[in-house]
Structure 1
Amino acid sequence: MNYIKILRPFNCLFVAICVLFGIFFRNLTLHSYNMVFAILSATIIAGAGYVINDFFDLPIDSVNKPNRVLPSGKIKPRSAYLYAIILFILGIILSFLTRNIYCVIIAIINSILLFFYAKTFKMNFLIGNIVVAYAAGSTFIFGGLSSNNFTNSLIIAIYAFLYTLMREFIKDAEDIEGDIKFKANTLAIKLGRKKTIFASILPIAFIIVFTIYLFFSELILLSTFVLMNVFVSIPLIFFIIFLFKKISKKKLSLISGWMKIDMLMLLIILWFGK
């Protein structure tokens, strides 16, 4: 049971849903076993990423989260490390069964990035943020490639990248005290909390510009464009205005949660819109 728990089953389920979204977005046809292997590969690699992250975070979690699987001694660190490596290899092997070389390349790249993200990247200025944002976007592309739906999945992937990057900036600002304690070199430590929040305006601007581009390229209808502005773009602008009035850790945590809901609204609008 502990070997399942350390995989973060609910997070892995969300990864599977993202792959499915990439497969079926504007492309509601079945794609034999490719779809199944794509979902399994992406989910297993994501699970491996969580395990290896817990392995490298053991000294920190022993202080902050002693009840987690590794700090509590329910799984030995060496066993967790080997478990992660086996899962990475299994995920890559399964990617070959999608019969798409680009899926294999993404599986290999993501496995390497998740390993080094856990080991060093997440503590480095901006690199960790970009890796996480890329990983979020690549999940949709992975599904799209496995079903010859790359162009459609790319639309969602770009939004996922920008949203995740924005949330990463907000989370950096939220976690600044803990990151200072553990000598991380995050964006918030480098720029300060206020400038980091200001930096999150850049992904928001790209989201708005990209939405306008989709409309004028006739990739979305006017009704979809209006809904995306009302329920996605405008709320994002209000989030930042709300934050700047009085910056606090509680507000940052609240906004981070709201952004998840905003991203969900985006996915729903794009799925049902045209």
Structure 2
Amino acid sequence: KISYLSLRCAGNVVSVGLYSHTSCSKHVPTRQFKRNPIWACGQVGAAGSDPMLNKISTFKDACWRFLRPHTIRGTALGSVALVARALIENSNLIKWSLLLKAFLGIVALICGNGYIVGINQIYDIGIDKVNKPYLPIAAGDLSVQSAWFLVIGFAMTGLLIVGSNFGPFITSLYSLGLFLGTIYSVPPFRMKRFPVAAFLIIAMVRGFLLNFGVYYATRAALGLPFQWSAPVAFITTFVTLFALVIAITKDLPDVEGDRKFQISTLATKLGVRNIAFLGSGLLLVNYVAAVLAAIYMPQVFRRSLMIPAHIFLALCLIFQEAISGFYR
């Protein structure tokens, strides 16, 4: 999980780099949507043969983009990492019967993720037409009515799975995550208008709730009471701080649209360059803390893996722009 998130941030979140000498006063889309050429060729062939199949394929593609696949990958990989950690600690309790429960848990998390990113798109159509015109609602590939159908379906399916398989406590945590995702986007709350509230919500949902909830549910499925361990505490702390970095820097490419619609973010208040440096600094602190944890707690962490891995990721972050400039 940590490696995935770290590489993702090094590639996307802090693309300004510590060695950048330019400022971004004008919005330049960094993640323009491009249809897969294989998919496009298939559409050309399907158009002349079966219009219904063409419509189904187009709708399927729009739904996939609506789910924001990069957020699904983060949720799934993070969950798998924590489940694996719990199983490694209690390998004698592993049973094949747990496989179905684990699968249902992943589905519930993807549904919750789909609800949160989906409802945000429903209420951000105008902003997305400026900042992210490739998203399906903004691009006109998915109707608002269909989007509502999807997000309600995601929420109901997720709650049904969690309520029937993981007990009242995890159901409460899941419901809290959905609630925070709702007030983040939906008027009259729309907490995304307030920078501090926005990044706290993101850090809470993507960081603490996800990690704590998955680990708690895994131990409960194994018939064990909840108990913190040093590795899990490290993972949760690392990812929560990482989620803060994402929350702080996620609006860097959206400054133009946010200013147009009077959405106050840290990027619009403090400037793109300053926020990029802040995000880089926090992420660097995370990597340094990981190295120090391995040095001072050798009985808990594998020094041979933790130290070189996080030093490498820190160097990639520091020299990203310099390396890009060298090969440009």
TM-score range normalised by the length of the shorter chain: 0.7 to 0.9
Instruction: State the SS of the aligned residue for 1:117.
Output: helix
- Please tell me the residue identity of whatever aligns with 2:200: I
Q: How does 1:117-266 map to 2 (within 5 A)?
A: 117-119=184-186, 120-137=190-207, 138-148=209-219, 151=229, 152-200=231-279, 201-213=281-293, 215-217=295-297, 218-238=299-319
1:104, 1:202 → 2: CA distance? 32
Q: How does 1:69-148 map to 2 (within 5 A)?
A: 69-119=136-186, 120-137=190-207, 138-148=209-219
Structure-2 change in CA distance of 1:64 and 1:238 (3 Å): closer
Q: Check conservation: 1:20, 1:143, Cα contact below 8 A.
A: no
Aligned residues: 243
2:274, 2:131 → 1: CA distance? 27
Q: For residues 34-73 of structure 1, give each alpha carbon's deviation from its aligned partner in whole angstroms, at most 9, with x where no partner exists.
A: 3122111111110111211110111223445555432344
Structure-2 change in CA distance of 1:191 and 1:71 (3 Å): closer
Q: Does 1:22 align with 2:82?
A: yes
Aligned to 1:255: none
Structure-2 change in CA distance of 1:49 and 1:229 (3 Å): closer
- Please tell me the residue identity of whatever aligns with 1:80: A
Instruction: State the SS of the aligned residue for 1:184.
Output: coil
1:100, 1:237 → 2: CA distance? 44
Q: How does 1:48-67 map to 2 (within 5 A)?
A: 48-66=115-133
1:142, 1:98 → 2: CA distance? 14
Structure-2 change in CA distance of 1:154 and 1:85 (3 Å): farther
1:172, 1:4 → 2: CA distance? 22
Instruction: State the SS of the aligned residue for 1:15.
Output: helix
- Please tell me the residue identity of whatever aligns with 2:309: M
Structure whose alpha-carbon radius of gyration is higher: 2
Q: Check conservation: 1:125, 1:190, Cα contact below 8 A.
A: no
C-alpha displacement of 1:89: 2.6
- Please tell me the residue identity of whatever aligns with 1:6: F
Instruction: Compute the TM-score of the two structures, normalised by the length of structure 2.
Output: 0.63
1:235, 1:63 → 2: CA distance? 31
Instruction: State the SS of the aligned residue for 2:292.
Output: helix
Structure 1 unaligned regions, length at least 5: 244-249, 252-274
- Please tell me the residue identity of whatever aligns with 1:213: A
Structure-2 change in CA distance of 1:118 and 1:63 (3 Å): same
Q: Check conservation: 2:184, 2:191, Cα contact below 8 A.
A: yes
Structure 2 unaligned regions, length at least 5: 1-59, 89-93, 220-225
Instruction: State the SS of the aligned residue for 2:118.
Output: helix
1:202, 1:209 → 2: CA distance? 11
Q: Check conservation: 1:34, 1:97, Cα contact below 8 A.
A: no
Instruction: Compute the TM-score of the two structures, normalised by the length of structure 1.
Output: 0.73
1:104, 1:215 → 2: CA distance? 38
2:252, 2:134 → 1: CA distance? 26
By relative contact order (CA 8 Å, sep 6+), the higher-ranking structure is 2
Q: Check conservation: 2:131, 2:253, Cα contact below 8 A.
A: no
